[in-house]
């Protein structure tokens, strides 16, 4: 069975995987630095794919909507899962959360997968007020922090 596979699977893996073929993005290859992880990748049947800009934009839009702390590589990996209609294999909870919001299949690797949706609200690090943009509308500070909040309506 094919799965879209996050770098953390190879980084923390032991060589026994719940897939027969891994689909990865170029950024996953860049994230794999240790010799052990490289060896695991080399001994895996994998294919490097790049998702379409349309799907990347769809994921980025949702990530922005929920203030997701996911990286650009995470978002491209999720876009590939959307595009191929394959489950994503990752222990990254923020990535799993974003997959939940996009109704994309995912599985945990070493950890149990999350089953609750969250959003991240932005707060001003200076005055503590909730912020919707890139700077505080009250004091003008750009020093913002995020707080994870469980979605109550879903």
Task: Encode pLDDT of 2-50 as tens digits.
Answer: 999 999 999 998 767 889 999 999 999 999 999 999 999 999 999 999 9
What pTM does this model have? 0.85
pLDDT at 14 (0 to 100):
74
Could you tell me the two tokens for 102?
A: 């996009």
DSSP strand pairing (21-24 vs 46-48): parallel
Q: Average pLDDT in the 71-82 region?
A: 97
- Whole-number percent of the chain with pLDDT over 90: 77
Distance, in Å, from the CA atom of 147 to the CA atom of 25, rounded to the nearest integer, reads 29
Give pLDDT, residue 154. 46
Find, among 78, 152, 67, the residue nearest to 117 by Cα.
152
List the Cα angle 108/113/115 in 5-degree steps: 155
Q: What gap in Å lies between CA 46 and CA 109, rounded to an integer?
A: 17
Distances (CA, A) of 119 to 64, 68, 150: 10, 7, 6
Structure tokens at 77: 């990996």
């Amino acid at each position: 069975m094919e799965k879209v596979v996050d770098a953390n699977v190879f980084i923390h893996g032991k060589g026994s995987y719940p897939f027969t073929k891994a689909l990865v993005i170029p950024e996953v290859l860049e994230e794999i630095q240790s010799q052990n992880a490289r060896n695991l990748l080399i001994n895996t049947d994998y294919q490097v794919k790049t998702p379409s800009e349309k799907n990347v934009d769809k994921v980025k839009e949702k990530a922005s909507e929920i203030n997701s702390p996911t990286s650009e590589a995470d978002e491209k990996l999720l876009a590939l899962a959307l595009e191929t209609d394959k489950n994503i294999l990752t222990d990254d909870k923020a990535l799993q959360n974003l997959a939940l919001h996009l109704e994309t299949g995912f599985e945990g690797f070493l950890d149990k997968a999350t089953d609750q949706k969250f959003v991240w609200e932005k707060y001003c690090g200076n005055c503590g007020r909730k912020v919707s943009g890139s700077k505080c509308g009250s004091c003008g500070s750009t020093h913002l922090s995020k707080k994870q909040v469980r979605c109550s309506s879903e």
